[in-house]
Homo-oligomer: A and B are copies of this chain.
């Protein structure tokens, strides 16, 4: 492979061909030039989030992706199932840039004072097209980082922190006093746990292994249930009874876990009723599905009564429903607690080229506990961990 020339910008794209093949590839673009109010950010660190791999592969199986060379750069090809094609019609032929968020350093700035003020600074950025060597952005879209912060710590300053706080705000405004979270040992889950500990919100963490439960308990979790335990049902019933939780944020989707928690919530609520009702309790039980770790069908049974709701939850929708003041408050909290409450850990650092290596892809889409990938387009400039 030829090295990238100094004046070009390597960037990752995903395109769906009419044949049903996804092609995820790197391309060399001209180096962008910032407008007056813009800055040019040299991207140093960008996390691999589920929302990124969703854009790259949609429902195609990344485990079956085949490597090929496009121009002189690495690329991948993965087939989407024929029945999924109609819902993807809208993106056939469009090469979509990948990468939701990142951090880096401002190396060029437009003439406007707010742009000039950022020149040379480390910044955290969000807005798509971040799996690239460089990205032009409005100065107002950058969160300036203190100089002594490792730029890695700014890479996940938006999606996970805002999602974790979004869960809390959603629960608060809908009147729930305690939360259940599944797949709770993720970077997001650890943030949510720290937030709930800090704010005194009871949280029931559900994970799949003893190691994950231990990790959460070491971080102060009161409830860290292992769904593989033979007495998980009893543990769940007890945790629901003790916390009075009535809302679930679920990253798994497929299968019956979310519904099982709804059943436990209804059982707890119906035990507190003065009088039996054939229609179940008057307590609203809410299951929000924000991820798709299991793509098999969601299974719901019939023992929740009639006061229940299952719905999709998306950060973009939450932010659109929040006031500007609230969002500003949330952003300020992220900035001030970036290395504590909102700290992220990365097990692997990979280049843009490595991010398209089939073995590496198989590893990062597996989302194994404790494994989290960080794309570092310019590894030499990142240095060792600060």
- The residues of A with any CB-CB pair to B shorter than 8 Å are 51, 54-55, 58-59, 84, 86-87, 89-91, 94, 96, 253-254, 256, 259, 263, 266-267, 270-271, 273, 275-276, 278-279, 292, 295, 297-314, 316-317
- Residues on B with C-beta less than 8 A from A304 are 312
Check if B302 sits within 8 Å of A299, measured CB to CB. Answer: no
Contacts of A307 in B (CB 8 A): 312, 314, 317
Which residues from B are CB-within-8-Å of A273?
90
B94 contacts A302, CB within 8 Å? no
Chain B nearest CB, measured from A116 CB (Å): 33
- Complex-state Cα separation, A94 to B276, whole angstroms: 9
Query: Are B303 and A314 closer than 8 Å at their CB atoms?
Result: no
Given contacts A299-B299, A302-B292, A308-B311, contact A90 B316 (CB under 8 A): no
Partner of A87, one of B58, B59, B303, B310: B303
How many copies of this protein are present in the complex? 2
Report A299 CB to chain B, min CB distance, Å: 4
Q: Which residue of B lies closest to A83 (CB)?
A: B303
Across the interface, name the chain B residue whose C-beta is closest to A320.
B282
A314 touches B90 (CB 8 A): no
Specify which of A91, A259, A266, A292 lies most central, judged by the most chain B CB atoms within 10 Å of its CB: A91
Chain B neighbourhood of A270, CB < 8 A: 87, 89-90
Assembly CA distance A311 to B309 (angstroms): 4
User: Which chain B residue has the least Cβ–Cβ distance from A88?
Assistant: B276
Closest to A253 in B: B302
Q: Which of B59, B297, B309 contacts A300 (CB 8 A)?
A: B297
Whether A297 contacts B301 by the Cβ 8 Å rule is yes
User: In the complex, are the beta carbons of B295 and A298 less than 8 A apart?
Assistant: no
The answer to whether B295 and A297 touch across the interface, beta carbons within 8 angstroms, is no
